[in-house]
Amino acid sequence: MANTTNRGGPTTGTRLAGWVGFACVLAGVVAIALVLTAAGGGFEGWTAVATIVAVALLVVGAVMMIVLNFRRRRLGGSGGTSTHEPGVL
């Protein structure tokens, strides 16, 4: 019997999480534009709120993309298992 499972390829979940991370980073960039607009208009309260939202979006998006990339490299270098040889990511 042939093994038909593809353990090394990306799954729908990892692809979706990667796109969600990318969307968070893009939304963070848009939020930075809103921060600058609010600051230019003199809205100190909205500037603070938008700054917190922008930082949170950028951090969450970057962490999602970094973690998924590290996981993909680690699993790909060890034959698709979560345990890997020393020195191989």
pLDDT, position 68: 78
pLDDT, position 7: 57
Residues of the chain with pLDDT under 50: 80
In a domain, 89, yes or no: no
pLDDT, position 44: 95
pLDDT, position 49: 96
Asked if 51 and 34 touch (Cβ cutoff 8 Å), the reply is no
In a domain, 11, yes or no: no
What is the number of domains present in the chain?
Answer: 1
Kindly write down the DSSP assignment for every residue of 27-77, as one continuous string. Answer: HHHHHHHHHHHHHHHT-HHHHHHHHHHHHHHHHHHHHHHHHHHHHHHHHHH
pLDDT, position 15: 76
pLDDT, position 72: 65
pLDDT, position 73: 66
pLDDT, position 2: 54
In a domain, 82, yes or no: no
pLDDT, position 85: 52
Which pair of structure tokens corresponds to residue 74? 């680690």
In a domain, 61, yes or no: yes
